[in-house]
Structure 1
């Protein structure tokens, strides 16, 4: 599933081609996504200018003068810019045709993504209750410590809760907890402020590195072969269960938590 770094890299890739461009037309080939695409979306977008392309959590915003299109890539979706007029493929569900001759094309094989309209995206039910961005000044150890008091849930589940902080998906939770030396099953309410400071820094470091690597390993966002390759990140623990810990050489343990793979070092993480 595309997570925050992939979505941010997508934003960075498409923004230069879209911002300031007038929308000449919208083609919807399949409106049956996770939520049906509004029937009047092409009419709303026709003739409007994309003022900016922003991101909140794993949602992309196409800001127009009259409102905002909220886009989610779902489990397997992608956005790319078409410049050569290549025909749509089987899972290319939405085209936004721009005045510069380019087309913003949405591909989603599993149709778990969404294209929604909002007059004020900050008040939309999908957005309004989200926690802070992990790379923002609002997020840090003190924030995590305050919200965690009295919590009996495992720390991995706690930091993956979008009401606590957005964008810490399964891969990044594994990596950040390893860097901070915290066992994924430790109760969130039993972790000290100092350890939360280390964890918050590990989250910021992990996501920043993933965004940077995503930006350098994506093949392209232009033309029909420009599907995001996403990043080939050098992960420390995720996907390496049963191999030696990169710090102490103890065999990394892999378990399932909430039906998700969880890898940790039984020696380094307490």
Structure 2
């Protein structure tokens, strides 16, 4: 699943190709890929020019003349920029025909991703974005501690809760826990204020490093041909040997999510 660094890479890449171009036609090949009324989506956006692309957590926000639309890539969503003459592939479910003869196509093998028309002026204050917590760079340690400390859920699970702090997915949650040397099953109520400050700092550092590297290329992530390199720096996710103690890295399920950790470096306390 594309996480904050991957989505940021998609945003930066797409801006090089589509800013300033008019959407002359929209073809929806799979209706459910659009949340809400598909006809309204198509009618509202056709004829508008793409002015900018914003990002909130894992959501892309395409800013047009009068409106905006959000895009959540979910598990395997991606955007392809192709010449209009290229045949539509099996998994390309929506096409934006652009004024320069190219097409922006949304591809999603599992069809989990969604696009939706939103208010250009208030999308951050409206659903679904208003439910998101702050990104690590904007996080208030006191507020994050208050949310975490009241929970018995594992810290790994809380890191994945987008209402607490947005942008972190499974890969980076594993890496954050490893860097902190905290067992991923540690209940939130056992995480101290000091550790929450450290958690936010480590989250910012790891996500920033991943953005510089273009994200992590695992399975289907591909930002229009630009693949991420951060997988070369992964310390624990998908690893078999701990880079610190040379012990075995263990994989277990933590509330349904595959979790990699070192039982020696990340001993559970209490």
TM-score by length of 2: 0.88
Is structure 2 residue 120 aligned with structure 1 residue 122? no
1:106 maps to what in 2? Answer: 106
Q: Distance in 2 between matches of 1:244 and 1:82?
A: 41
TM-superposition CA deviations, 1:139-197 (whole Å, max 9, x none): 25444323223221111111110011111111111100100111111111211222222
Q: Distance in 2 between matches of 1:90 and 1:109?
A: 8
Q: Distance in 2 between matches of 1:46 and 1:202?
A: 43
**Structure 1 residues 88 and 27 mapped into 2: Cα distance closer, same or farther (>3 Å)?**
same
1:238 aligned counterpart, secondary structure: coil
1:156 maps to what in 2? Answer: 156
1:78 aligned counterpart, secondary structure: strand
Q: Distance in 1 between matches of 2:129 and 2:74?
A: 15
RMSD over aligned Cα, in angstroms?
Answer: 2.2
Q: How many residues align?
A: 261
TM-score by length of 1: 0.88
TM-superposition CA deviations, 1:57-105 (whole Å, max 9, x none): 1111111232211111122111121146312111111111222322211
Q: Which runs of 5+ in 1 are unaligned?
A: none
Q: How does 1:60-139 map to 2 (within 5 A)?
A: 60-83=60-83, 85-119=85-119, 120-134=122-136, 136=137, 138-139=138-139
Cα deviation for residue 38 of structure 1 reads 1.9
Q: Which runs of 5+ in 2 are unaligned?
A: none
1:237 maps to what in 2? Answer: 236
Residue of structure 1 aligned with 2:245, choices 244, 248, 258: 248
1:233 aligned counterpart, secondary structure: helix
1:265 maps to what in 2? Answer: 262
Cα deviation for residue 10 of structure 1 reads 0.7
Q: Distance in 2 between matches of 1:208 and 1:259?
A: 27
Work out whether residues 37 and 114 of structure 1, in 8 Å CA contact, stay in contact via their aligned partners in 2.
Answer: no
- Larger CA deviation: 78-87 vs 174-183: 78-87
Q: Distance in 2 between matches of 1:216 and 1:262?
A: 17
**Structure 1 residues 207 and 232 mapped into 2: Cα distance closer, same or farther (>3 Å)?**
closer
Q: Distance in 1 between matches of 2:45 and 2:238?
A: 42
1:5 maps to what in 2? Answer: 5
Cα deviation for residue 9 of structure 1 reads 0.8
